[in-house]
Each structure stands twice: as structure tokens, then as C-alpha cells.
Chain A
């Protein structure tokens, strides 16, 4: 296990989290509510007048930092996981009830369940978005430290949501140990049964990416084969984790090739780049990440977990990496 590669996994996730449009929408949550009301009104204006590309988000008489390139939800949940990793998981989540958090539907429902006395695994199971990748994001921390992500995952997720966490942890654990993206992918596949959507999709995605021979070239075929064109679930683990595995492998573990390709799958652009970045970052290590991205991605915004605003993600890993 390499400290540089553990830092690489964390920084890589933050870089992937920072790329693209979804991050700017998350970070806009830091502005006053009236600014987001204006977003909605401008959307309606654009619809009515048939004009495109209105200026959202924006900062007016407000701090401008949230409009700069930077990490959003996933980097914050990863940092929170690192900070609470030694605590019993349900207990750690319960404390969030008092905080003013923004979270995926799986996490919001799990917090409701915990408040009602519904304990894990039911808290993650009796949950309409049990299949999302909230736990897969947190599993990057467990994988980097060689720990089992399951008890954490079961607080907020079930079925494909838990399998996604187990696959990410297995892949990241292998990558921080060997730096070999092929072995990381094999480690993930070993925990994904073929008769699940995530297991089926992972094998389909890898086959597509191998045939394309290149991460960017694989994008249209991945969209056609994997994405739900009826309902664009941004964060289904059965889509985002397979895409991350396939693109990281097709890019030979190179973050600069894998992450931009993941960001091209518009429907998955919220979290697939972050998962892809974590895998590629773990393979290549922190030193391989471009300096400009390291600088932009490491400072947390506090758009989901306000108490983490301004914290440095990489400093948080000191002592463990």
C-alpha cells in the first residue's frame, strides 16, 4: 500500500467530482436561496422565449468562489467518511440529523429511517434509492485503507448499491497496493455477481471499452448500451461503477484520459467522473495528478456538509496515507 496512491485515490475522486456542470450546480447551493430562485425563473424565461444558454449559476453581491472550478458533494462525503471511519456507522450518520446536510435520496431516506428507529440494514433497504452510488463514493475511503465497506454501505443502500460499494472498495484496495488497473478491475468483477444489473453492466461496459480501445472512443457505445434513456438516473451504482471500471481500464489508469471521458456521459456526469477519478488516481498516485487540478480540487466547498467548508481534503488524509 502506497501513501502516494491513497492520496491519489482521494485527490482523483475530488478532481472527477470537480469536472463539469453538476459540480457548479452543487456549489451554487452555497449562494442565497434567491439566486437559485432566479435560476428557476430564468429557466422558465428561456422556455417561454425559446432562447438558450442563460447565465446560471451566477454570483451577484455574493462570494464568487463557488463559481470557480472545485469539488462538490462527493469529495465532501469522502472527507466525512475518512473523519468518522472508526465510528460505528449508524451512530456517525445519526449525528448528521442535527447538521444542515444536502444528500442523495438514499442518504436522506436513511437519515429519516434512522430517526424513526429503523436500523441498518433496513435503513438502507427500505429505501427507494437503495441502488444509488452514495456508498460507492464512501467506499473509496474504505478501499484505500483496506477495510470492508459493507457495514457503512448498508446504512444507506442495499442490493446494487451495496455491491457497488464492495466493488469500488475492492478495486481501490487493489489499485493502491499494485497500481495495476487490470487487477483492480478483476478485483471488482470478483465481487459482482453476473445475475445482477451491476454485474451484467460491468461486463458489458468492459467489453465495449476494450473493443473501442480508448476511453473517449467508448462513450457513445456506453451510452447506448448502459444508460437509462427513459429516466436519467444520474447516480445509479449499476451504471456509474461499471462506467468507472471500464473507462479507467481503457485509459490504462491515466486520470487525464479517463475522467474527461466519464464527464462526457451527461446523465452520469455527477458521480461517474468522481468514481473514475478515484480509480485512476489510485493507480497513478497523487504525484501524477496535474498541479492545477490538485490545487483546484483539494479545498472543500461545504455545499453538502457545511462543517467541512474550507477544509483541505489532502490534509485530512495525513496520518492515514
Chain B
């Protein structure tokens, strides 16, 4: 499989996971099951995850390994801020806080420290292109994504981005699912919240996965036969998978907090979905969005990592058919761009 194929699979998987998860964001797993059984069909367009990933990829295409936090800040000043004339739709708190910090004249890393959403998963959701750009080199992917993260995040938000970029880089290099997760852990400190949460979900999986594996093994790998209606898939949902979802929530979900875009949580849940799906795009993404919380970002991350491993052909054709050029509703500067073209540009220099 060529890097170009993997790059296309990665960004297509990201866009598909984003679009599939969008209607499930902030819903409980119970509510998702009630509405869809298993959520398997893309209903509408993607969100900020896809548009910010395209923006990140454009920075890499221009600056390559020389990308720095200063260059990223400059891109915010020249390409994002001038086009924010009214409300900045679809942006997360961390990006909005960063825009305010830049308008105040702050420079990175203070732009990412000055607001309190440093832990946002806003970097993790757009980290995949950095992994695509550094196949087989998780450390370099993590170093590059940190340059982006220093502008808009801090602490665990940057670590979440590093973990995802590292995982994608390993998947681009052909690593197995287990090795991909180890690559994510290899680029963040063991004493971080993100690392502890990844360890927590792995412990849950090692205790409960025999049941989950039996459930997912009942489906054809990568096939489209799981797209049954709510009644059918709801009725056939194995109790073991419901228990697994509950156990993952108990392990890493912050109970008393109104927001769900917490990187240590979203990244750990996305990696859990990737492991449950054993690297298969459809299995990983549908399990991931069924977890609720920041479902579009969980789906996007799981889809990107799995897609980098499986290539374009690993993304279900019916999902790929739903992914068109982005509208620019979150970032006007990327309006009209298609993830597959962006993937080709990224892969050109590899």
C-alpha cells in the first residue's frame, strides 16, 4: 500500500468519523442506542474536526518540517482572524480563546495558556495530518503537532495531539493495532492524564475484550452488513458490548463537567474504539461514536488512525460517497477543499 493510499484512507476516515459522530455528540450511549441502535449511516456533513484538519495539512504542505508555533500563529492572524467578522461558528473554546489572545497581542505559548481550555481536544481532532506527514516516525509527528498546539492549547491538550499524531504516524508505517497504541504512549509522559487514561482503557479492554471480540467477530470485517435499522441492530446488540461501553465510561469519563471536549478523555476513548475495532475503520468508528461524549471527535480520531492503517479501500464506500468538499462553515479559508485532494498534497513529498 502506498503512502498516498494510506494518507487518503486516514483523512477520509477522519471526515467520515466526524460526520457519522456529529449527531451523537453529547448524547449518552443509552440515548444513542435508543435512537439508532448502532449508528452506522452518515446523516449530514462533518464539523470543525475536518475543516481544522484541512487547515493543519495546508500548514504542513507550505512549511514542512520547518513548521513552527510562530508560523502557525501567523497563519491564524492572516487567514483565520480577518475572516472572523461575526460569530466564529463551529469553533471550540480553545480556538476562540486563542483568537482573543492573539487579538490581545500575545504570542505562543501564552496564546494557548491564557485561556482555560488548554486540555481541549481541538488539537487531537486535527492531529492526523501530522502523522500522515511523518510515516513511521511518531516522535517527529509529535514534535510537529506540538508546534500547532502551542498556539491554541497547553498541557494535556498538546499531549492529546501528540498521542494522536504519534498513533497515525505508526499506522502509516504499517504497525499493528497494539503497536499503534504503544506509539501513542511513547510520545507522551507516563505521568500525564492522557497516558493514565490510555492505560485505564487498555486495562478495561484486557479484562472485557474476549466478549467484545466475540461480538465484533460476528460481523464481516470491514463489510457493510452492519447497516441494519435501529430495531435490528438494537435487538442484536450483545449485552457484553453495553457493559464494555459502561466500563470505559467509568474508567475515563469526567462525571461532574458540562463539556465533553476533554482531550485525555476523547483520545483514550478513540484509542479504545480503535482497539475494539481491531484496526477496521467501520468497526472502530461505529463503536467510537456509540460512546457519545465528544462523539464526532472520537469518531474522527478512530477513523483517522484506522484509515491510515487500511488505506482508502478500508473506508466503507457508502461513507466515502457522503464526503464532499467542506463548506467552510467553521473555517472559511478552507471552503471548497476535499480531504482526498489534501491527502494527495500531503503524500506528494513522502
Contacts and interface: CB of A to CB of B under 8 A. Distances in A.
B93 A230 contact: yes
Given A128-B119, A231-B116, A109 B93 contact: no
A231 B93 contact: yes
Contact of B255 (A112, A129, A159): A112
B348 interface: no
B295 to A, nearest CB: 18
A126 B93 CA distance: 19
B196 A126 contact: yes
B97 A105 contact: no
Given A105-B256, A109-B254, A225-B104, A125 B116 contact: no
A230 B193 contact: no
B345 to A, nearest CB: 32
A109 B256 contact: yes
A109 B113 contact: no
Nearest to A237: B116
A103 B193 CA distance: 22
Interface residues of B, number: 24
B116 A122 contact: no
A126 B97 contact: no
Interface in B141-159: 155
B32 to A, nearest CB: 23
Contacts of A236: 116
Nearest to A111: B256
Contacts of B254: 109, 112, 127-128
A4 to B, nearest CB: 37
A233 B114 contact: no
Interface in A215-266: 225, 228-231, 233, 236, 238
A128 B262 contact: yes
Interface string B255-284: 111010010100000000000000000000
Nearest to B259: A128
Interface string B97-117: 100100010000110011111
A196 B118 CA distance: 12
A125 B193 contact: yes
A131 interface: yes
B255 A231 contact: no
Interface centre among A127, A228, A229, A238 (most CB of B within 10 A): A228
A195 B150 CA distance: 13
Interface string A175-191: 00000000000000000
Contacts of A112: 254-256
Contacts of A197: 110, 113-114
A196 B116 CA distance: 12
Given A109-B254, A230-B93, A126 B264 contact: yes
Interface centre among A201, A225, A230 (most CB of B within 10 A): A230
B100 A229 contact: yes
B197 interface: yes
A207 B317 CA distance: 60
B96 interface: yes
Nearest to A201: B114
Contacts of B119: 128
Interface in B87-101: 93, 96-97, 100
B193 A126 contact: yes
B342 to A, nearest CB: 28
A311 interface: no
Given A200-B110, A200-B114, A230-B115, A109 B196 contact: no
Interface in A114-148: 122, 125-129, 131
A230 B97 CA distance: 6
Contacts of B257: 105, 109, 128-129
A229 B256 CA distance: 23
A30 B103 CA distance: 43
Nearest to B258: A105
Nearest to A103: B256
Nearest to B253: A112
B256 A126 contact: no
A184 B110 CA distance: 26
Nearest to A236: B116
Nearest to A126: B193
Contacts of A316: none
A59 interface: no
Interface in A90-115: 105, 108-109, 112
B93 A122 contact: no
Interface centre among B96, B100, B254 (most CB of A within 10 A): B254
Nearest to B97: A230
Contact of A108 (B113, B256, B262): B256
A238 B112 CA distance: 13
B193 A228 contact: no
A159 B154 CA distance: 11
B115 A231 contact: yes
Given A159-B155, A197-B113, A236-B116, 6 more contacts: A112-B256, A126-B193, A195-B110, A197-B110, A197-B114, A238-B116
* 6 closest residue pairs by CB, A with B: A108-B256, A126-B193, A197-B113, A230-B96, A230-B97, A128-B257
10 contacts: A108-B255, A112-B254, A125-B193, A127-B254, A128-B259, A128-B262, A197-B113, A197-B114, A230-B115, A231-B93
